Amino acid sequence: MNRRVHISKRAYWLALASVDGVGMKRLKQLIERFGPLEKVFEASISQIACLPKFNPLLAAKILRAGKKLSNFQRQMDWFKSRGIEILCLEDEQYPTLLKKISDAPLVLCKKGNLAKISERAVAIVGTRTPTKDGLAVTRKLAAILASEGFIIVSGLAKGIDTAAHQGAIDANGITVGVLGCDIQTIYPKENSQLAYSICVNGTLVSEHPFDTQPTAANLIQRNRIISGLSLGTIVIEADENGGAIHTARFAQKQNRRVYAYHWPFERPLASGPLKLIEDGASGIKVSNVSNLLDDLLKAEEEKFSIKKRDKQLDFFNFE
C-alpha cells in the first residue's frame, strides 16, 4: 500500500513555476479568479483558458503539472536534504526588493547561511575580462560597502563579479551570488570554492529549480534578478554591449539607481560606464564613496517610506 504524500504549499508553487508561460501577470489572474493555488489545479481547462492571455494549451500544461504534485513534493524533500530552500512569492523570506519587480521569479532557490536577503543590497557588475585597475577598484569598493552593512550582489562570473564577491568576503561582509543555471551547477566551475565561501555568510540564489544550463539567454535573464535584489547597480568596467549593461538597463526599468565608475576616456573597457553616465547614471569613484553611500541610504529610505499594503496582495505591487 502506497503511503500518501503530504503536499506542501511550496510544492504547488513549484508545480506552477514549472509551466513555461506562467509569470507574475498570469499568476495574478489565476489567484484573482481561483484564490489559493490549490484551487487553480482543481479548475477545468475551460475555466483557465477563458482568462485573458490564457489558452487551452497553456491551461492543459498547468493541469498536467497539477497531476504531478507528489513528484514536486519529493523534489522539495530532496532540496531540503541538500540544504536548498525553495522560496515562493508569498513567503516572508522572499527578498522584498525582488518581489517588487514585474517579472519576479515565482520561486527562488536559495543555498547558504543567510536567512533573508535584506533591502540594504547593492549590485556590482562588469566585464569578465577586466583590467588590473578594474579588479582592484571593484574589490576595494565592495569591501567598503560591505563594511558599511550593504549586501553585495553579483553574478559569480569571472572578472568583476568575482572581485565583487571577494571584496565583500575580505570585509567579513555578506554577498549574494545569482546563478543563471540551476543551483546545483556552479558556473564557471573554477568559482566552486568562491561559491562555498559565499554560502558561509551569504547565499546563492537561482530562479531555476530544475536542471538548467547557463545559456546566454539564461545568463541575461538572471541579470534582472541581480538588479532586482538591489537598491542600485554599479557597473565598473564593460563595453557598450556587455552583460553588465543589460543589468544596468534592467535596473533602470525597475526604477532602481544606476551607477557607473568614472574612468578617463582613454581607458579600455570604459566605454560602457561612460555611456551609462551620458544616459543619466551617476558617476562614482572610490575617492567619493561617501557620496555613493549617502545616495544608497537615500534610496533605501525612499523605497520603504511608503506603508506596506495588504500582505495578501503585496507581491503584485510592481514598481
Stretches in the chain below the pLDDT threshold 70 = 1-4, 304-319
pLDDT tens-digit map of 230-281: 999 999 999 998 899 999 999 999 999 999 999 987 788 999 999 999 999 9
**CB contact set of 96 (below 8 Å; sequence gap of 6+):** 118, 119
How much is the pLDDT for 268? 84
Q: Three-state SS for 282?
A: strand
Instruction: State how far the Cα of 122 lies from the Cα of 213, in Å rounded to an integer.
Output: 26
Which CATH entry fits the domain spanning 9-81: 3.30.565.10, 1.10.150.20, 3.40.50.1820, 3.40.30.10? 1.10.150.20
Q: Are 122 and 151 in contact (CB under 8 A)?
A: yes
Q: Are 73 and 11 in contact (CB under 8 A)?
A: yes
- With both helix axes pointing from N to C terminus, report the angle between 160-170 and 192-201 in degrees, rounded to the nearest 10: 40
How much is the pLDDT for 54? 97
How much is the pLDDT for 314? 54
Q: Side-chain half-sphere of 143: how many Cα atoms within 13 Å?
A: 13
**Beta strand extents in the chain (DSSP E only):** 85-88, 107-112, 121-125, 151-154, 175-178, 203-206, 232-235, 257-261, 282-284
CATH topology of domain 121-303: Rossmann fold (3.40.50)
Topology agreement, domain 9-81 and domain 121-303: no
How much is the pLDDT for 310? 39
How much is the pLDDT for 6? 87
Give the C-alpha distances (Å, rounded to integers) separating 240 from 21, 122, 181, 223, 234.
31, 21, 25, 16, 15
Which of 30, 29, 92 has its CA nearest to residue 65?
30
How much is the pLDDT for 265? 77
Residue at grid coordinates 547614471:
281
How much is the pLDDT for 311? 45
User: What is the residue extent of each domain of the chain?
Assistant: 9-81, 121-303
